Amino acid sequence: MDYAVQVDQVSKSYGHKAVLDNVSLQIREGQIYGLIGPSGAGKTTLVKMLVGMERADRGNVTVLNETMPNLELLQEIGYMAQSDALYAELTGEENLSFFAALFKLGKTERKRRIAYAADLVNLSGVLNKRVSAYSGGMKRRLSLAIALIQDPRILILDEPTVGIDPQLRLSIWSELQRLKEVEGKTIIVTTHVMDEAGRCDVLAMVRDGRILTSGTPQELMAHYGASNLEEVFLQAGGIQV
């Protein structure tokens, strides 16, 4: 079995606060894997470990069979953080060019990737505007385009569609689906949006630094005898519905 990501008995504390507690999971290549759970559950900390931005206190994280953190792997991991890390004084295009230049891309390929990523998130018409004049949703869209810029094998998206209107959210999800199906990308998303959770192949419910349960959306609904994922989410968290 080919796993893009393996997390093995990982724990992490900040000071005295345990944020991840003995977490294990496997993500198959070519899967959309969703992490859902309440605010503060540890989702961001977990995805930061997959990118190599945080180190586990105990346990092991492997991405594409390499132990993380590993700088070499950044070419293969596109990461969209929860808060946008953009250069406000530069234009959208300059931001894309800046991040594209960090990766091994030829000049023509770089141009092609910038045009593709900008088009995907509907920013082609405003690429010459400074980011300081972008709305919150536009900044999220630019961050998503940056995550895709080097054509990575793995996309890690921390709440990618917050602040994005429903129409564009749909088109982003259909592109994520295409990237999975046609290009075989592995996509890991954190989300609070149940409709998005339902589009994942596998979901893990995270709470208090632990994975309470995981499975396909259908498996989880069957397991909890629930008619929708919102109910699963509440029941997994111990709330009677």
Ligand X SMILES: Nc1ncnc2c1ncn2[C@@H]1O[C@H](COP(=O)(O)OP(=O)(O)OP(=O)(O)O)[C@@H](O)[C@H]1O
Shortest distance (Å) from residue 136 CB to ligand X: 16
Residues 6+ apart with CB under 8 A from 230: 194
Kindly tell me which of 22 and 122 has the beta carbon lying closer to ligand X: 22
Shortest distance (Å) from residue 174 CB to ligand X: 25
Residues 6+ apart with CB under 8 A from 1: 28
Would you say the C-alpha torsion 69, 73, 75, 80 has a positive or negative sign? negative
Shortest distance (Å) from residue 133 CB to ligand X: 27
- Residue numbers of the site for ligand X (CB under 6 A)? 14, 19, 37, 39-45, 82
Shortest distance (Å) from residue 157 CB to ligand X: 13
DSSP assignment string, 15-33: TTEEEEEEEEEEEETT-EE
Indicate the length of the chain as a whole number. Answer: 241
Kindly tell me which of 44 and 235 has the beta carbon lying closer to ligand X: 44
Q: E strands, 15-160, where?
A: 17-28, 32-36, 58-63, 66-67, 77-80, 154-158
- Asked if 95 and 86 touch (Cβ cutoff 8 Å), the reply is yes
Kindly tell me which of 120 and 155 has the beta carbon lying closer to ligand X: 155
Shortest distance (Å) from residue 161 CB to ligand X: 14
Residue 22 Rama label (left phi>0; alpha psi -120 to 50; beta)? left
Shortest distance (Å) from residue 72 CB to ligand X: 25
Kindly tell me which of 127 and 200 has the beta carbon lying closer to ligand X: 200
Helices (H) and strands (E) in the chain, counts: 8, 10
Kindly tell me which of 14 and 87 has the beta carbon lying closer to ligand X: 14
Kindly tell me which of 209 and 217 has the beta carbon lying closer to ligand X: 209
